[in-house]
Amino acid sequence: MVTKARYIVFSIFLPLFLTSFNAAAQNTLVPVGEIKYAATAFPDRIVLTATEDPARNQTVNWRTRGSVTEALAQISKATDTPALHLTAETIPGRTQVLEAGNGLAHHHHVTFNNLEPDTLYAYRVRGDNTWSEWFHFRTAKSGFEPHTAIYFGDAQNAVKAHFSRVIREAFSTAPRAQVMVHAGDLVNSSSDANHDDEWGEWFDAGSFINSMVTTVATPGNHEYLAQPSGPRKLVPQWPVHFAMPSNGPAELGSTVYFMDYQGVRYISLDSQQALQDAAMMQIQTSWLRGVLGNNPNNWTVVTYHHPMFSVSLGRDNPRLRESWQPLFDEFNVDLVLQGHDHTYGRGENVATGASGQLGGAGPMYVVSVSGPKMYMIGESAPETMDRLAEDTQLFQIIQFSESRVVYEARTATGELYDAFDIERLADKSKRVVDRRPDTPDRLCGNPEERTGSSCWGGSSHIGL
C-alpha cells in the first residue's frame, strides 16, 4: 500500500519523469502539451539563403501566422541614423502555406535584386501589423576577394540543448564570416513526434546569426521522411524555409544548386536522393559535370550529406565513389564537406582513394558533427583519414584567399582540434600543409551508454 507521503512524492515526480521522457522522445526541450513554436503575428525563422549572384541579389525567408497573406520586406543601405524607414524600399515576395505540427503558418520569401556589390544593407520583414527588427548583411564583392565560411556537420538531435552553443561559439570565433554551410541532418524529423518543434529549435539556436550570414544548406537523410511505400520524401519545411537558387536540376528544386561567392563556387548535392533513386543519381551527375566544367572560380567546395569515405562503423557509400568521385578528381574539386557519420574525419585523397598528399588534383574530404549524437570510428577509417575523433562537437572555420585555403576544426569550447592549408602553386597544382595540433585523436568517453557503434544516443541527454 502506498503511504500518503510516498503518494505525494510519486504524484510530484511522475509527471516530471513522463514529461522528460516524452520531450526526449521528441528530440526537443518542449514539454508535452506545450506549444512553443506556433506561428504568430511576429516574423520568425528569418534566414538569409544562397543566391546565384550574391554580389547583387539576396534572398530572405521567414514565417508568420496565416493572417499575413502578403510577403513584404524593406531594404535600405545601412546608415548610422535610425531613419532607415525613410530610405527603405518595400519589396514584395512569395507566400506559401504549410500546415505542420504547430498548426497553420505562412512562409514568405523575398529576393532583393539589383544590389550594389560590397555594400552593407539593412532590412526588415513584415508580420501582422508589425515588423521584425532591422538586420544587416553585406553583399559579396565582384570577382575574387578573401572571405570566411563556417561549416557544420549534423546538428540533428537535441538541437536547442546542444547545437546552440556550437553555432554561437562559431560566430564568436568568426563574427565576420559571410557564409555558413550545413552538411545535412539539420533536424531529426522524428516520425512519431512534432518535428516542427525541431525546426523551431534549429532556428532558435542560430537566432539572429541566420538572419545576417548567408546559409548554404544541403539535406540529409533526416530531412527525408519514410513513406508507407516507395522512397523517402523531403520534409515540407525544407522548401519553405530555404528558397535556394533555381540553377539546379528542375527535379531537385531547393536541394541541388550552386552559389558563386567571391571566387568560390559552393555546390550542394542531394546524396539522399542519389542513393535512393538511380535516376536522381544520374540527373545530378550530369548536372554536376556541367557545373564543374564551366567554373571560372579560384576554389570549388562541394557539400552533401553521406560521406564519400565513411568514418563510422558499418557505413559505406560505394555508389557515390562510382558516380561523383571521378568528377571531383577530373575537375580538381578542393573541399568536400559532409556529415552523416557523427564522427570527425579528414583525409587527403588522391584519385585512387588512398590517403596521401594531393597529387595536384582531387579534393580534401571532411566529415564532421556539431550535435550531440555520437558514433564510433570504423576500423577502416584510418586508411582514408589523417585526423579522426569520436564524442566531439565541432565547427569548422574556412578562410579563402587567392592562393591558399586555411581550414580549422574547433571543438564546442573553441579548442583547435585539426588544421591544414591547401596551397595553390604556380603551376596550378596543390600542396597540403598539415597543421593539426600535437594531441591524440579524441575517443568516446561515455561510460554509460556506449554500445557497438554508438557513443551517445540522440536524445538521451536533453536533461529535462
pLDDT of residue 463 exceeding 70, the answer is no
CB 301 within 8 A of CB 180: no
Ranges for all domains in the chain classified under CATH 3.60.21.10: 147-456
pLDDT of residue 358 exceeding 50, the answer is no
State how far the alpha carbon of 244 is from the alpha carbons of 57, 259, 314, 338, in Å.
Answer: 12, 9, 33, 19
pLDDT score at 462: 64
pLDDT score at 27: 85
pLDDT score at 271: 98
Euclidean distance between CA atoms 407 and 96, whole angstroms: 38
pLDDT of residue 12 exceeding 80, the answer is no
Q: Which helix (H) or strand (E) holds 203?
A: helix 195-212
pLDDT score at 357: 43
Helix ranges (H only) for 324-431 are: 325-330, 381-384
Show the cell assigned to 463.
536533461
Of residues 110, 76, 78, the one with CA closest to residue 94:
110
Q: What's the rounded mean pLDDT across residues 219-228?
A: 94
pLDDT score at 157: 94
pLDDT of residue 16 exceeding 80, the answer is no
- For residue 86, what pLDDT band results from cuts at 50, 70 and 90? very high
- Mean pLDDT of all residues belonging to the chain: 90
Better-scored residue on pLDDT, 30 or 26: 30
Question: Which sign does the torsion angle of CA 175, 180, 183, 184 carry?
Answer: positive
Q: What's the rounded mean pLDDT across residues 450-459?
A: 80
pLDDT of residue 2 exceeding 60, the answer is no
Sheet holding 89-92, edge to edge: 89-92, 72-77, 120-125, 135-138
Sheet holding 364-367, edge to edge: 257-261, 264-268, 299-303, 335-338, 364-367, 344-348, 387-389
Q: What's the rounded mean pLDDT across residues 134-145?
A: 97
Give percent of the chain with pLDDT exceeding 70: 89
pLDDT score at 362: 80
The radius of gyration of the chain's CA atoms, rounded to the nearest angstrom, is 22
Show the cell assigned to 274.
542519389
Residues 6+ apart with CB under 8 A from 205: 155, 159, 160, 163, 164, 167, 168
Ranges for all domains in the chain classified under CATH 2.60.40.380: 44-138
Residues 6+ apart with CB under 8 A from 131: 43, 74, 124, 125
pLDDT score at 60: 98
Q: What's the rounded mean pLDDT across residues 25-38?
A: 87
Of residues 161, 196, 195, 199, the one with CA closest to residue 182:
199
* Pairing status of strand 44-49 against strand 58-64: antiparallel
Euclidean distance between CA atoms 457 and 455, whole angstroms: 7
Of residues 387, 389, 429, 440, the one with CA closest to residue 412:
389
* Pairing status of strand 147-152 against strand 179-182: parallel
CATH class of 147-456: alpha beta
For residue 399, give the amino acid letter: Q
* SS3 sequence of 350-406: CCCCCECCCCCCCCEEEECECCCCEECECCCHHHHCCEEECCCCEEEEEEECCCEEE
Euclidean distance between CA atoms 418 and 408, whole angstroms: 6
Euclidean distance between CA atoms 44 and 261, whole angstroms: 26
Q: What's the rounded mean pLDDT across residues 143-156?
A: 97
Phi, psi of 34 (to 5 degrees): -90, 140
Cβ-in-10-Å burial (0-12, 13-18, 19+) of 42 comes to: middle
Q: What's the rounded mean pLDDT across residues 304-332?
A: 95
Q: What's the rounded mean pLDDT across residues 405-409?
A: 98
Is domain 44-138 classified as CATH 3.40.50.300?
no
pLDDT of residue 359 exceeding 70, the answer is no
pLDDT tens-digit map of 284-300: 999 999 999 999 999 99
Euclidean distance between CA atoms 332 and 103, whole angstroms: 47
pLDDT of residue 5 exceeding 70, the answer is no
Please, which residues bridge with residue 151 across strands? 181, 396
- Which segment of 21-35, 75-89, 272-286, 434-448 scores lowest on mean pLDDT? 21-35
Q: For 107, what's the count of Cα atoms within 13 Å in the CB-facing half-sphere? A: 18
**What letter would DSSP give residue 27?**
T
